[in-house]
Amino acid sequence: MATVGFCQTQSADTSPTDTLAFAAGQAEAVLAYSQATKKQAPLYEGNEYVAHNHQIKIHPFFVTDSLQMGTVAYNGAFYTDVGMVYDIVRDEVVIQRPGTPYRIRLHSERISSFSVGRHRFARLVGDSTVGVRTGFYQLLYDGSVKALARRIKTIHEDISSGQYKANFVEEDRYFILKNGTYYPVKSKRALLRLFPEQASALQKYLRANRIKFKQQREEAITAVVRQYDHLTH
């Protein structure tokens, strides 16, 4: 297998100046890579990620089990172009050390926010007064009122047939942040109740756009909050 490296054969019509310029470009590229790696070094100080039971065929991650490029705010620093996956089962952000196959789980308490692909997440610290539990929440809509989703996967095991079978069962939970309080949204009635003065108009909006809450819960919640912002601002 051929190895690709920083090398180039000088052709007969290549001038020494061109060669020097190319070498200088190589040096700058190597230096930039070295500096970027050094700056990101604190990010790779987490513990090694241990994979789930290999007998479970469904992956435990958000959207895909392949690494996606993202960003993470970690320990007060902001890192970009990080290869990562989000383990929903354990509620952990997992990154891969460059140039190695090893994955590292970041310390969740040190993460304030992260993005994976085009999806944005924030870590909320819950208590009995705010209405949510501590963990990562996806920001579905960010306006005067915010819509969030808590992605959850749990392990379902079955040995009724005499053989061990297991898979991950996904269950999303939704919340609206309004006036500093998080409200769980389990039904269309609960959603519209949060906007009493615009409830009728929002109901008509869903109907006009043929958005059915039971079948399109996430789309309905996001649409209602976005339309509320439109009506009130």
**219 and 135 housed in the same domain:** no
Q: List, in sequence order, every residue forming a beta bridge with 152; answer none if it has no partner.
A: 171
Q: pLDDT means per 10 residues in the chain (233 residues)?
A: 35 43 45 46 81 77 90 92 92 89 92 93 82 91 94 77 73 92 94 95 96 94 96 88
User: What was the pLDDT predicted at 127?
Assistant: 73
User: What was the pLDDT predicted at 164?
Assistant: 67
DSSP code, position 169: E
**Helices (runs of H) and strands (runs of E) counted in the chain:** 4, 11
Asked if the structure places residue 173 within a domain, the reply is yes
Residue 5, token pair as written in the block: 């490296």
Asked if the structure places residue 8 within a domain, the reply is no
User: What was the pLDDT predicted at 73?
Assistant: 94
User: What was the pLDDT predicted at 129?
Assistant: 66
Asked if the structure places residue 199 within a domain, the reply is yes
Q: What's the pTM value of the predicted model, to 2 decimals?
A: 0.77
Using CA atoms, how far apart are residues 59 and 52, in angstroms rounded to an integer? Answer: 9
**145 and 157 housed in the same domain:** yes
**170 and 56 housed in the same domain:** yes
Phi-psi sector, 28: left (phi>0), alpha (psi -120 to 50), beta: alpha
User: What was the pLDDT predicted at 215?
Assistant: 92
**60 and 170 housed in the same domain:** yes
- Domain range enclosing 150: 45-182
Find out whether 175 and 122 touch, Cβ atoms under 8 Å: no
Question: Which 3 state secondary structure label does DSSP give 204?
Answer: helix
User: What was the pLDDT predicted at 144?
Assistant: 92
End-of-domain residue from the set 182, 201, 225: 182
Domain count, the chain: 2
**142 and 222 housed in the same domain:** no
CA distances from 1 to 7, 8, 9, 101 (A): 16, 18, 19, 19
Phi-psi sector, 180: left (phi>0), alpha (psi -120 to 50), beta: left
Q: Which residues contact 196 (CB under 8 A, 6 or more apart)?
A: none
**164 and 53 housed in the same domain:** yes
Asked if the structure places residue 101 within a domain, the reply is yes
Asked if the structure places residue 139 within a domain, the reply is yes
User: What was the pLDDT predicted at 199?
Assistant: 95
